[in-house]
Structure 1
């Protein structure tokens, strides 16, 4: 069995990364926020580091310090689902 690194598909260019435990919020100069996490994709069996963009409108950045985003966040690739509130990730 090979011990290959997990591919990191995070787009470059973010100016701030905040560790929230299971996820990181990546903040881009244009206001885009992506939720970086280890994504276990059942559709193809791959595991990768993935940072999907939040859908804005749809998600509201309530605060950037500490990071609070509403409503809950869902990764459609792996099913990661939770709330990012007061800088802490909470699984649903």
Structure 2
């Protein structure tokens, strides 16, 4: 049983790692912090406002990194990035 669970988790981790690598290597790595903000916390479903808040907290620790504007046009930069990730099936 433990062997089967370990095998299943290894396969899932590989798939998740491949999707993450693909998402952040498609022309820009600006998705990294956004993906961190999405994954921050125990719940898979998050309100957009909370994603923006988590993103801003992450970016405080990474001032040298390019960032999305969370205020301009009601966070349209982040909405566009999320839509792009979703269309490319990275947010399944």
TM-score normalised per structure 1: 0.24
More helix by share: 2
TM-score normalised per structure 2: 0.24
Structure whose CA Rg is larger: 2
